[in-house]
Amino acid sequence: MAFFGRAPQDEGGKPGVFARLTERLANTRQALGQNLGQLLRLRRPVDAALLEDIETTLIGADLGVDTVQSVMDEVGRRISRREIGDSRAVYAALRGILLDILKPCAKPWPHGTPPQVVLMVGINGAGKTTTIGKMILYFREQGLKVMVAAGDTFRAAAIEQLATWAERAGASLISQPRGADAAAVAHDALQAAQARGIDVLLIDTAGRLHTQSGLMDELGKIRRVLARLDPTAPHEVILVLDGGIGQNALAQLEHFHKAIGITGLCITKLDGTAKGGVLFAIAKKTGLPIYFLGVGEGEEDLRPFDPANFIDAILPPGNDT
Ligand SMILES: Nc1nc2c(ncn2[C@@H]2O[C@H](COP(=O)(O)OP(=O)(O)O)[C@@H](O)[C@H]2O)c(=O)[nH]1
Ligand SMILES: [Mg+2]
């Protein structure tokens, strides 16, 4: 059971890792798995009315119109090829079709030549700083030396929040007082990381500037400053998206991707939202790697993305029986 990097028995009496994921994704499971299970449990004929009900459920679960269309097209093809006989077979088919949408986005974290420089971006409140905190722990557990840079210099509280995580999870911290130039912080951090043999440098950034173009300009400046010290840096630009905002995540993604080029994603706050279906829309639209899911505020609540586990958690096998 290596899927979350830690075996369930390491949890010291707490529910296993997969059980916890399942528990945290309860709202999305309700919107998707439970509703589909109810629709498909009875051996209803696979007719236009049933297909319409399925389509409505998928849209309600925030998969997005385009994704739902392509899923329904595939279901239709399988029906006409007589691969689907009754409503229960539809459930099994949907599990497979939805899994196939996510699979291209499952990539292991791309470890690079140290120091690997990771720029964390996203709008205010998306979960950047919290995700960095959790990633510190994740990398530390692999025996890596981690440094974080407090590039959100707008609020003193943001710097403190990162400092707290760094201390708790065991990373060194590079920061400057509030109001400092974020690019200067990034520059100092990379220089220190190079000098101190750091494996992974995680750079926090601000999510809100006076204008959107100000935010993108600042991120561009950070990029240029880093590249002066290491032409290959930043090695990863990770967009942190709040999964609870549903389809709005797509617009955000497009915006950030166009402006600075995103290499991978973390989707946060999948606990407590029924909009987890947005992952399918993101996967279908971008195919970008989804490295981590955030399923809570604690340091343990980061999950390397595993499509099969995600599907099992929101569309449990046998839910149609
Ligand atoms: N429930 C839940 N809350 C989260 C998650 N990730 C972040 N948060 C919370 O969302 C809020 C904003 O997070 P923060 O990391 O400060 O966002 P930032 O502005 O992008 O740095 C904080 O209260 C976090 O505790 C998550 O996966 N689940
Ligand atoms: Mg922050």
Residues 199 and 220 in one domain: yes
With a 6 A CB cut-off, is 304 part of the ligand 1 pocket? no
With a 6 A CB cut-off, is 104 part of the ligand 1 pocket? no
Do the beta carbons of residue 218 and residue 249 sit within 8 Å? no
Residue nearest to atom 22 of ligand 1 (CA): 127
With a 6 A CB cut-off, is 299 part of the ligand 1 pocket? no
The pLDDT assigned to 6 comes to: 40
**Is 315 a domain residue?**
no
Spans of the chain, pLDDT less than 50:
1-14
Residues 64 and 166 in one domain: no
**Is 46 a domain residue?**
yes
Q: How far is the CA of 36 from the centre of ligand 2 (A)?
A: 37
Residues 78 and 139 in one domain: no
**Is 89 a domain residue?**
yes
Residues 57 and 164 in one domain: no
Residues 120 and 223 in one domain: yes
Residues 249 and 144 in one domain: yes
Q: Work out whether strand 116-121 and strand 200-205 pair parallel, antiparallel, or are unpaired.
A: parallel
Q: How far is the CA of 128 from the centre of ligand 2 (A)?
A: 5
- The count of structural domains within the chain is 2
Name the residue range of residue 142's domain. 116-305
Q: What is the pTM of this model?
A: 0.93
The pLDDT assigned to 320 comes to: 67
Residues 127 and 238 in one domain: yes
Residues 98 and 137 in one domain: no
The pLDDT assigned to 307 comes to: 97
Q: How far is the CA of 127 from the centre of ligand 1 (A)?
A: 4
With a 6 A CB cut-off, is 160 part of the ligand 1 pocket? no
